[in-house]
Amino acid sequence: MIKQIPTILTTSQKLSTGVDARNVRNIVLMRPVNSMIEFKQIIGRGTRLFDGKEYFTIYDFVDAYKNFSDPQWDGEPIEDVDIYESPKEQIKSIKQSDIAEAGILLERPKKQKVKIKLAPGKEREIQYMSQTSFWDASGIPISAEQFICKLFGKLPEFFKNEQELRDIWLSPDTRKKFLEKLKNAGYGQKELKLLQQLTDTQNGDLFDTLEYLAYNVKPLTRVVRARKAKNEITKVEEFEEKQKAFLEFVLEKYVDVGVEELELKKLSELIELRYNTIDDGLAELGKIEQIKEVFVSFQKYLY
């Protein structure tokens, strides 16, 4: 007699990056899910059809469901619709909410860009997104275009011109205060990452994203920005050779991760990554105050 042994798949990211395990009957959420797109991707693993599978169960230990309300996606299950027998025209006429309830996910179209009007004579190109994934300060779902327009209208409250934005950004201290103001206005880390996705600037610096949105300046990638900074640093006489070597390491981490690697609170971690211990790092680079000064001052060459 064959025994049916329960199978448990434990994963950190797999369910949100793509897996076609059609017999999934239970989904257990054990970590916060702050992106509606990721939430839908995870839930989509349970909607796959499979012989003998008439429903699936979500065990939500982190109350992720409270963060998401999308009328275009939510809804009652459809009845008497034979998805597999339907012609292409009929499939196209079925709402996304019906498709999700029936357990079928249509192939997504390739990325396409659309132009949105921010103000008279001011247009920006963004990635087309058909799903509502954004929220205003009162928690009401808004479109990607509304999200961009609201932020565009608020930016003059934070900087008057391009040079002021640049001056703010080149110092870890002023940059941190600026990002805190944005967060208090409803544009925290999650919203700013979504902004980078919309403007297709994920490989750039958040500075470039904001500069593009505010002034339509063509964004640079972090690779290009770091390369230019490295060339400038080699010419700076006040930096010692060992300090320049450390700054090159910092630039590598910046390229890999982003501007958050340039925060002052990251300095100790970067020293340990490069030299194994803080003491070994100090032996190479000098006193901690001197290292902090070098770490802060070199950032102006990035911007």
211 and 130, same domain (yes or no): yes
The answer to the question of residue 176 being in a domain is yes
150 plus 87 within the same structural domain:
no
Q: Percentage of residues in the chain with pLDDT exceeding 70?
A: 71
Task: Quote the number of domains for the chain.
Answer: 3
Domain match, 188 and 226 both: no
Which of 61, 76, 102 corresponds to the end of one domain? 102
Query: Are 120 and 59 found together in one domain?
Result: no
- Whether 41 is in a domain gets the answer yes
pLDDT for 85 beyond 80: no
Answer yes or no: do 91 and 136 share one domain.
no
| pTM (predicted TM-score) | 0.58
Instruction: Please give the Cα distance from 95 to 55 (Å, whole number).
Output: 20
Range of the structural domain that residue 183 is part of: 113-215
- Domain's final residue, options 102, 132, 148: 102
Q: Per the domain annotation, does 2 fall within a domain? A: no
Q: Are residues 130 and 207 in the same domain?
A: yes
pLDDT of residue 164 exceeding 90: yes
Do 153 and 62 share a structural domain?
Answer: no
CA-nearest of 65, 55, 53, 62 to 30 is 62
- Res 114: pLDDT: 58
Q: Residue 280 — pLDDT band, cuts 50, 70, 90? A: very high
Decide if 22 is inside a domain: yes
Position 174 in a domain: yes
Write down which residue in 215, 233, 251 finishes a domain: 215
Nearest to 26, CA basis, from 53, 66, 52, 59: 59
Reported as a single tens digit per residue, the pLDDT across 173-200 is: 999 999 999 999 888 888 888 888 888 8
User: What average pLDDT does the structure give for the chain?
Assistant: 78
Residue 141: predicted pLDDT: 75
